C-alpha cells in the first residue's frame, strides 16, 4: 500500500478528505473530482491528487474518483475499516464529555471501557460505560483494546501512559497538557486545548 515516502502532512489530511467525502456522498453523487472536493474543503486540487497518489489511490481521467470506492480506500489506508476498541483513562469533566461524544463512530472508533482512580466514581455508569478502577488497566490486552485516550490531570499523565503501554496499547490520544514519552512503536497524538486557544489572540487585529 505504500508508494515511497509519505509525508506526515498527507496522513494528517486524509481524515479531512474523508470527512468531506462522507458529507458530499450524502448528496448521492457517484463520482467526485479533485476540484469538487478541493473547493468544498478550500484546499488545492493538486494537493489532493498528490496525496492520493502517495497511497496508490487513483481516479479516472476525465471523470474523477468514484465516491464510494474512494471512501472505502481511505478508510482502509487509515485502518478505519475495522472497529478499534478504545479505552478512556480519566473520567473527569473532559473524559465524561468524550464518552458522550457522538463523533467517534463515524471513524470506526468505539470507546468500550473507562477507568478512573477515584473510588467514588468506580462502578458508576457514564454514557452506558461502567467506570472501572485504574488498577484494572492491565486487562486491556485480553479485551483486545488497542487505543487509549488520556484525560487525566497532567501530573499523572506519564504514569498513565506507562501503564497503557505495558497493557499493549498501540496508540494514545493525549489530552493532558504534557509531553509524554513512550516507546517508538507506540504513537501519541496530543491535543492541548488551552494551547490552541492561546494562539488565537495573536491573530487578532488591534482595536
Partner DNA sequence: GCATGTGAAAATCTTCACAGCA
Partner DNA sequence: TGCTGTGAAGATTTTCACATGC
- Contact residues: a copy of itself, CB under 8 A: 11-12, 14-16, 18-19, 41-42, 77-80, 84, 86, 92-94, 96-98, 100-101, 103-104, 106-107, 109, 146-147, 149, 170-173, 177, 179, 185, 187, 189, 191-205
Which of DNA, a copy of itself, none does residue 45 bind to, with CB < 5 to 8 Å depending on kind?
A: DNA
- The three cell numbers of residue 12 are 494528517
Span 5-44, contacts to DNA by CB under 7 A: 7-10, 33-35, 43-44
Report what 84 binds from a copy of itself, DNA, none; CB cut-off 5-8 Å by kind. Answer: a copy of itself
How many chain residues touch DNA (CB under 7 A)?
Answer: 25
* 137, 164 Cβ separation under 8 angstroms: yes
- Give the whole-angstrom CA distance, residue 179 versus residue 190: 8
CA 167 to chain centre: 20
Residue 78 makes CB contacts below 8 A (sequence gap 6+) with 14, 15, 18, 107
* DSSP conformation class of 204: P
Name the site residues for DNA (rule: CB under 7 A): 7-10, 33-35, 43-47, 49-50, 52-53, 57-65
Amino acid at each position: 500500500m505504500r508508494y515511497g515516502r509519505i509525508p506526515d502532512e498527507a496522513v494528517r489530511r486524509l481524515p479531512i478528505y474523508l470527512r468531506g467525502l462522507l458529507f458530499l456522498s450524502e448528496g448521492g453523487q457517484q463520482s467526485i473530482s479533485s476540484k469538487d472536493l478541493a473547493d468544498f474543503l478550500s484546499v488545492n486540487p493538486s494537493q489532493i491528487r498528490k496525496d492520493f497518489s502517495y497511497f496508490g489511490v487513483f481516479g479516472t481521467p476525465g471523470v474523477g474518483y468514484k465516491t464510494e470506492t474512494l471512501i472505502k480506500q481511505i478508510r482502509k489506508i487509515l485502518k478505519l475499516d475495522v472497529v478499534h476498541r478504545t479505552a478512556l483513562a480519566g473520567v473527569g469533566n473532559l473524559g465524561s464529555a468524550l464518552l458522550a461524544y457522538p463523533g467517534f463512530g463515524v471513524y470506526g472508533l468505539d470507546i468500550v471501557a473507562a477507568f478512573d482512580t477515584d473510588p467514588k466514581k468506580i462502578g458508576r455508569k457514564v454514557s452506558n460505560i461502567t467506570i472501572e478502577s485504574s488498577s484494572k488497566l492491565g486487562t486491556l490486552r485480553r479485551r483486545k483494546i488497542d487505543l487509549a485516550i488520556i484525560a487525566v490531570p497532567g501530573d499523572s499523565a506519564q504514569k498513565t501512559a506507562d501503564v497503557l503501554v505495558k497493557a499493549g496499547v498501540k496508540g494514545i490520544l493525549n489530552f493532558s497538557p504534557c509531553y509524554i514519552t513512550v516507546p517508538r512503536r507506540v504513537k501519541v497524538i496530543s491535543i492541548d486545548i488551552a494551547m490552541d486557544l492561546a494562539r488565537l489572540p495573536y491573530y487578532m487585529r488591534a482595536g
